[in-house]
Amino acid sequence: MKYYLSHPLSWPHLPEGFGRDHDSAWTWLPNTLYDPEKGRALYEESLTTLALADELGYDGVCLGEHHQTAYSLTPSPNLLAAALTQRTKRCRLAVIHCGLSLDQPPLRLAEEVALLDALSGGRLDVGLGVAGGPEYWSSQANPTHARERFREGLDLALAAWTRPGPFTWTGKHYFYRYVNPWPTPVQKPHPPVWIAGDGSPEMAEVAAQGRFVYVGSPYLPLDSAEREFGRFREACQKAGTTASPGQLAWTVPIHVAETDRQAREEFEPHLWYLVKNLLKGKATSPPGARSPHSALASLRNRGESLAEKRTWDEVERGGYVIVGGAATVRQKLDECRKRLGCGVVLAGCPARKGMELLAREVLPHVRDA
């Protein structure tokens, strides 16, 4: 089992009554609520926390790409990853991009990934996914082309990493007279590729066909995660392969304290800040952003998202989070591992104390499960 620290770099300073006065934390939330000096401090604190994960023995850290939102101040996770290459020595650096379905040139992404792989000494995991609905409003990208652009962009990036250049690329959405990146990745044939799932069969098929790591959708109950991983296993069978535990990555908020009661008391305010503020408006999508299959999956999961929950009992009963003393967290992680069959856990820890206890009191007991 591998454990990565997942850190969204959320904005912690939204005002009281935010949920009453604003209908979304995404896209059109006024940036007058952002304070540059507090933002500078947030970035410094977050980089220090992520670097601490390396010292504590986490297998890696994970960053995602988001735009124009208080949920995650990471419009360019590659810049943060570049800083971390100089602050860490051992852990993997997983960076999940959504730009291939927006407006990021695939060749530029391929070059930056190769550069990060060199700076990190071959410790990069490159994640790729289709952008969430609000990202299309932010970028003005045509959502009806999203999945086509993603598939072609992925194929182009893989070719740039593995085919000797220069060569010409002529596709439906991209044309390059010369594909000839300098540098090329340290890891051969290329850094491990992670595919960020969105609950759709299409993304499961992409991961299965490429034998990539499949990252399950966040903020869904354990039942939904089990179904989603089941669809990925079925896609692997259709592709003539068998999914290994190392190809299944599960995202879950985790908090450890001295006792179960103390853990809940420390964690619950962070949970409701996330639910009532940061996730507000996250599901907003323009027409065409979802495929028919993805839209049907979203309808099936309606009411299951963490954003819809209003009581602690609902959250705990659904398995949305793992919170408790060290013994409780060890037990829950072991039960979830057996149920999901995953080999990678992306642990969202809201507090440095909790991540330290998780590293010292839990991970040594569950890593070799």
pLDDT digits (tens, 9 = 90+) for 126-148: 999 888 878 887 787 788 888 88
User: How far apart are alpha carbons 24 and 173 in whole angstroms?
Assistant: 32
Task: State the pLDDT confidence band at 297, using cuts at 50, 70 and 90.
Answer: low
Instruction: Tell me the per-residue pLDDT of 311-331, one tens digit each, with 9 for 90 and over.
Output: 999 999 999 999 999 999 999
Evaluate if residue 284 carries a pLDDT over 90. no
pLDDT confidence of residue 2:
96
Q: Which residue has the higher pLDDT, 85 or 135?
A: 85
Report the percent of the chain where pLDDT is more than 70. 95
Evaluate if residue 12 carries a pLDDT over 80. yes
pLDDT confidence of residue 131:
83
Evaluate if residue 85 carries a pLDDT over 70. yes
Instruction: Tell me the per-residue pLDDT of 31-47, one tens digit each, with 9 for 90 and over.
Output: 999 999 999 999 999 99
pLDDT confidence of residue 139:
80
C-alpha closest to that of 350 among 278, 246, 247: 278
**Taken in order 350, 356, 359, 360, is the CA torsion positive or negative?**
negative
Instruction: Tell me what the pLDDT averaged over the chain comes to.
Output: 92
Contact of 13 with 353, CB cutoff 8 Å: no
Evaluate if residue 163 carries a pLDDT over 80. yes
Q: Summarize the confidence of residues 57-83 as an average pLDDT.
A: 95
Task: State the pLDDT confidence band at 219, using cuts at 50, 70 and 90.
Answer: very high
Tokens of 339: 């149920």
Least confident residue range of 49-53, 91-95, 158-162, 287-291: 287-291
pLDDT confidence of residue 25:
93
What structural domains does the chain harbor?
A: 2-366 (3.20.20.30)
Evaluate if residue 298 carries a pLDDT over 70. no
Task: State the pLDDT confidence band at 57, using cuts at 50, 70 and 90.
Answer: very high
pLDDT confidence of residue 166:
97
Evaluate if residue 289 carries a pLDDT over 90. no
pLDDT confidence of residue 104:
83
C-alpha closest to that of 96 among 350, 285, 344, 312: 344
pLDDT confidence of residue 103:
76
pLDDT confidence of residue 369:
62
pLDDT confidence of residue 100:
83
Q: How many whole angstroms from its chain centre is CA 209? A: 20
Task: State the pLDDT confidence band at 299, using cuts at 50, 70 and 90.
Answer: low
Q: Summarize the confidence of residues 141-164 as an average pLDDT.
A: 92
pLDDT confidence of residue 147:
87
Instruction: Please return the burial class of 91, using the count of CB atoms within 10 Å of its CB with bins 0-12, 13-18 and 19+.
Output: buried
Q: Summarize the confidence of residues 150-163 as an average pLDDT.
A: 96
Parallel/antiparallel/unpaired status of strands 167-170 and 213-215: unpaired
Evaluate if residue 241 carries a pLDDT over 80. yes
pLDDT confidence of residue 73:
96
Q: Coil, strand, or helix at residue 286? A: coil
Q: Which residue has the higher pLDDT, 133 or 52?
A: 52
pLDDT confidence of residue 239:
95
For 79, 96, 153, the CA distances from 115, given in Å and listed in that order, are 11, 16, 18
Residue type, 317: R
pLDDT confidence of residue 232:
96
If you search the block for the tokens 């604003």, which residue do you land on? 22
Evaluate if residue 150 carries a pLDDT over 70. yes
Residue type, 62: C
